[in-house]
């Protein structure tokens, strides 16, 4: 129930509806997801996508928390204060920051130019979130998420992405669709692979390409290997067999960014 505009019951329908978004099936069906934490909710409020904000009284104990709720109300977003016990139904962190937002999934027209990142069955939520942040930082034009990957709207992915979900166009695709898109748009297909590959420093990267980052355990899928036009490897000086997915992506994407900037006459690099 609600008492004086404060939600005090875990059985409140608004709370139950938001809690259902913890399941991927509900997120897919409704086109909604939820965010937890001050910084990422602030990022969401910079878009027109926020549907509802739930918060605990302690959020109002800081100027930043007060500003967040004031901004939501200024934008006409419904805000609901909850008891800590009720809000805990929507949080999965040990120490919640006292705010949760229900948000519409963003959508973009598909892009077939620039440097696009392809997550090929990347399954760890932390890795996927870091890939999102890295792709934004390195100036990627978009992210294609291939079948078998963790859901981009998984709460753990969203937390580790730190709001990058709102800044990077992203789409779902099968491997077959991805290869067809690459071929139809005359893109280079770049993979990191130890076999028949050159050092990533020795390759001249084109302007338009799809860079595939493979599964944490199995690497790049054989279908992408079969159709790759550029194969690179990252030299390892120490006694390790490989880098994890987001680190490898960061190393490779920033070398591509460096080369593209060097090709610009006004670049200082």
Percent of the chain residues past pLDDT 90, beyond the cut? 79
Where in the chain are the domains? 2-104, 115-262
Q: Which two tokens stand for residue 84?
A: 């800590």
Mean pLDDT of the chain: 91
Q: CA dist 88 to 58, 85, 130, 146, 153, Å?
A: 13, 5, 26, 33, 19
Q: Is the predicted pLDDT of residue 265 greater than 70, yes or no?
A: no
Q: Starting at the edge strand that comes first in sequence, how are the strands of the sheet with 79-82 ordered?
A: 2-3, 6-7, 79-82, 50-56, 99-104, 32-36
| pTM of the complete model | 0.89
What pLDDT was estimated at residue 264?
A: 61
Task: State the burial class of residue 131 (Cβ atoms within 10 Å of its Cβ: 0-12, 13-18, 19+).
Answer: buried
Q: Is the predicted pLDDT of residue 268 greater than 80, yes or no?
A: no
Q: Is the predicted pLDDT of residue 1 greater than 50, yes or no?
A: no
Q: CATH second-level architecture of 2-104?
A: 2-Layer Sandwich (3.30)
Q: Do 79 and 98 touch, CB atoms closer than 8 A?
A: no
Q: Do 41 and 99 touch, CB atoms closer than 8 A?
A: yes
What mean pLDDT do residues 225-246 have? 87
What pLDDT was estimated at residue 192?
A: 85
For residue range 14-29, list pLDDT tens digits in order.
Answer: 999 999 999 999 999 9
What is the CATH number that goes with domain 115-262? 3.40.1280.10
């Amino acid at each position: 129930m609600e008492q004086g505009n404060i939600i005090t019951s875990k059985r409140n329908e608004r709370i139950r509806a938001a809690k259902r978004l913890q399941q991927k099936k509900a997120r897919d069906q409704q086109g909604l997801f939820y965010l937890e934490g001050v910084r990422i909710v602030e990022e969401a409020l910079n878009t027109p996508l926020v549907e509802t904000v739930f918060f605990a009284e302690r959020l109002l104990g800081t100027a930043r928390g007060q500003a967040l709720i004031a901004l939501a109300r200024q934008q006409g977003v419904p805000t609901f204060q909850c008891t800590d016990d009720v809000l805990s139904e929507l949080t999965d962190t040990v120490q919640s920051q006292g705010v949760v937002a229900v948000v519409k999934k963003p959508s973009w027209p598909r892009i077939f130019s620039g440097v696009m990142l392809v997550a090929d069955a990347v399954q760890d939520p932390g890795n996927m979130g870091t890939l999102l942040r890295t792709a934004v930082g390195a100036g990627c034009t978009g992210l294609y998420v291939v079948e078998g990957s963790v859901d981009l709207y998984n709460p753990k992915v969203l937390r580790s992405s730190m709001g990058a979900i709102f800044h990077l166009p992203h789409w779902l695709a099968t491997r077959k669709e991805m290869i067809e898109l690459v071929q139809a748009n005359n893109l280079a297909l770049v993979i990191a692979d130890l076999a028949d590959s050159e050092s990533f420093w020795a390759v001249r990267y084109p302007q338009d390409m799809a860079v595939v980052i493979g599964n944490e355990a199995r690497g790049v899928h054989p279908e992408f290997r079969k159709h790759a036009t550029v194969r690179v490897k990252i030299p390892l000086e120490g006694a390790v067999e490989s880098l994890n997915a987001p680190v490898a992506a960061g190393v490779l994407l920033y070398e591509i960014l460096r080369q593209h900037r060097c090709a610009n006459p006004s670049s200082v690099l």
